[in-house]
Amino acid sequence: MTPYLEVDEAQDYFDTRLNSSAWDDASDTNKYKSLCTATRLINNLDYIGEKAYLDQDNEFPRLGQLDTPDDIKEACCEIAVQLLDGYDPDYEIASIGDIQAHYSSVRSLYNRDFAMDYIRAGIPSAQAWQRLTKYLNNPSKVIIRRV
């Protein structure tokens, strides 16, 4: 797995971002793992156009692009920091269907008829989603591709 950006390049991004303690406190190994996982999540979405090269692992760059766009790299960073902060995409997707929870005499009811598009797509960050949507085939209709 080759992430969209290396740890040192992501560090440049986080050096200018507030609330990045999850990134700052992580080991280089975990930073790299979070960037790899973020790249996988980004690659699961359905994008406009085709890959620039038939043999490339990642979805970007796309045909006509020389390099991966900064928006994609920044989205990768935003996802990575959420993952380091404890976000679990599997848990979030599974909990969309939860209707009620209770413990002893305390009961909570949830309306799960609505979930944000980015949560349904497995993307843990609204900021990342904003950067990704302009590249998606149809951002209002989320289609997840698992490869």
Give the helix, strand, coil percentages of the chain, each rounded to 5. 45, 10, 45
Domain edges within the chain: 7-135
Which residue carries 């950006």 as its tokens? 5
* pTM recorded for the entire structure: 0.82
Determine the pLDDT at residue 139: 64
Query: What would the DSSP string read from start to end of 16-78?
Result: T-SS-HHHHTS-HHHHHHHHHHHHHHHHTB-BSS-BSSTT-SSS-SBTT-SS--HHHHHHHHH
Show pLDDT as tens, one digit a residue, over the chain (147 residues).
Answer: 899 999 999 999 999 999 999 999 999 999 999 999 999 999 999 999 999 999 999 999 999 999 999 999 999 999 999 999 998 877 766 666 555 666 777 776 655 555 678 888 889 999 999 999 999 998 666 555 555
Q: How many residues does this entry show for the chain?
A: 147
Determine the pLDDT at residue 43: 97
Determine the pLDDT at residue 68: 97
How crowded is the C-beta side of 63, counted as CA atoms within 13 Å?
6
User: How far apart (Å, rounded) are the C-alpha atoms in residues 77 and 24?
Assistant: 12
Residue 96 near residue 115 (C-beta atoms within 8 A) = yes
Supply 100's token pair: 């009620």
